[in-house]
Amino acid sequence: MQSTILIAVGGNSLIRAGERGLIPEQAANAKVICEGIAELAARGYRIVITHGNGPQVGSQLLRSEAASGQTYTLPLDVCVAMTQGEIGYILQTTLQSALAERKLSTPVAAILSLVLVDPRDPAFRHPTKPIGPFYREADAQAKARTLGWTVVDDAARGYRRVVPSPKPAGIIGLEAIEHCLSHGIIVITAGGGGIPVVEEGGALRGIEAVIDKDRASQMLATRLGLERMVISTDVDKVSLHFNTPYRRPIDRADLRTARGYLAAGHFAEGSMKPKIEAAVAFVEQGGCEAIITDPRHLLESLDGLSGTHIIREETHEPAPHH
């Protein structure tokens, strides 16, 4: 029996650029992801899957807003819960089919997951995470007045709502995840970073926020005591000087080197930076290796033939530079 591995599926893996996000489109994209995961199961790995939900939660918010005159509106934490169910269903059925094709009867369970956050987190005073559609300035300001939103000008493409993105502080129901894994069940959980909740007088209450999926995945992998985690994204390797003629893929980087790349500002805040930060945190906190790659190179990366590998020991990567 191989060890347990966490695979964090990227938020845009199910809805690719240019697609409308129709369920058949999402299912087709899920098939690419699940083929690799099913092959890992065939190799004997125990597997926990996390996933993003950016496009799906944006659509859910749009539906809620469009139907606000006819039905109840949905707070953000409920939208996260609903997209956990939607994506969990797509991944579960697709993965179950891929396992059956390999004559495997491995059960798959999608677990609705709550993630505890600290209500005193500074993120609640400074919302930064854009969600939902773009608005004209007048419409955005009207929503800010009537709904209490914080809105910002998003790269001159229009105005968007921004919400807090607090750090995850705990996984509610971690024991249930551990129980499933110990019984050979593939677990899908912590979707979209988890449903954000705060604890008040011993009770849990949902709160309007978005938890970074990579941070939540790292925390889950660390709490489970895993040796390896994979962050799946839309490129096979992380690169320095991305989108320039000087682009250079990173095959391996130890902690010191990876921290240097972060300090030098090589990675964008809303793109690769949180993935590198999560990979570094995972290895710092006891993991042996974090891998960043795309779904098509999942197996090759685990075999050491592709992907970017963040490891503990020294490498011969050159020093970071601006």
191-214 confidence digits (pLDDT tens): 999 999 999 999 999 999 999 999
53 is catalytic: no
12 is catalytic: yes
Cα gap 319→322, rounded to integer Å: 10
pLDDT at residue 283 tops 90: yes
84-118 confidence digits (pLDDT tens): 999 999 999 999 999 999 999 999 999 999 999 99
Average pLDDT of the residues in 277-302: 96
Give the start-end residues of each E strand in 182-303: 186-188, 195-200, 203-206, 228-232, 239-240, 248-249, 252-254, 289-293
- Compare 13 and 235 and report the one with higher pLDDT: 235
Residue 2: band (very low, low, confident or very high) from pLDDT cuts 50, 70, 90: low
141-164 confidence digits (pLDDT tens): 998 888 788 999 876 778 988 899
Considering the candidates 10, 11, 36, 194, report the single residue annotated as catalytic. Answer: 11
Q: Residue 41 has which token pair?
A: 């199961």
State residue 147's pLDDT score. 79
pLDDT at residue 317 tops 60: no
Residue 58: band (very low, low, confident or very high) from pLDDT cuts 50, 70, 90: confident
Q: Which of 43, 53, 46, 50 is nearest to 12 (CA)?
A: 53
DSSP 83: H
pLDDT at residue 133 tops 90: no
CA distances 43 to 39, 61, 183, 192, Å, are 6, 40, 17, 28
pLDDT at residue 131 tops 90: no
Considering the candidates 12, 21, 143, 167, report the single residue annotated as catalytic. Answer: 12
State residue 282's pLDDT score. 98
What is the dihedral angle through the alpha carbons of 258, 261, 265, 271, rounded to the nearest 10 degrees? -50
Considering the candidates 194, 275, 287, 307, report the single residue annotated as catalytic. Answer: 275
243 is catalytic: no
| Amino acid (1-letter code) at residue 283 | V
pLDDT at residue 307 tops 90: yes
Cα gap 281→133, rounded to integer Å: 32
- The three-state secondary structure class of 117 is strand
Considering the candidates 29, 53, 129, 192, report the single residue annotated as catalytic. Answer: 129
Average pLDDT of the residues in 275-295: 96
pLDDT at residue 319 tops 80: no
pLDDT at residue 322 tops 80: no
Which range is least confidently modeled, 1-5, 26-30, 91-95, 153-157? 153-157
The structure's pTM equals: 0.91
- Compare 160 and 180 and report the one with higher pLDDT: 180
Which range is least confidently modeled, 191-200, 202-211, 255-264, 306-315? 306-315
What is the dihedral angle through the alpha carbons of 174, 175, 179, 181, rounded to the nearest 10 degrees? 20
pLDDT at residue 314 tops 80: no
Q: Which of 9, 4, 35, 5 is nearest to 290 (CA)?
A: 5
Domains of the chain by start residue, with CATH? 1-32+45-126+164-224 (3.40.1160.10), 227-322 (3.40.1160.10)
Burial class (CB in 10 A: 0-12, 13-18, 19+), 247: exposed
Percent of the chain with pLDDT over 70: 96
Q: Are 19 and 25 in contact (CB under 8 A)?
A: yes
31 is catalytic: no
pLDDT at residue 315 tops 60: no
275 is catalytic: yes
Cα gap 292→234, rounded to integer Å: 10
Considering the candidates 36, 193, 213, 237, report the single residue annotated as catalytic. Answer: 213
How would you classify the pairing of strands 108-110 and 129-135?
A: unpaired
Q: Are 88 and 191 in contact (CB under 8 A)?
A: yes
Mean pLDDT estimate for the chain: 91
Q: Which of 108, 47, 51, 129 is nearest to 83 (CA)?
A: 51
Q: Which of 186, 170, 35 is nearest to 98 (CA)?
A: 35
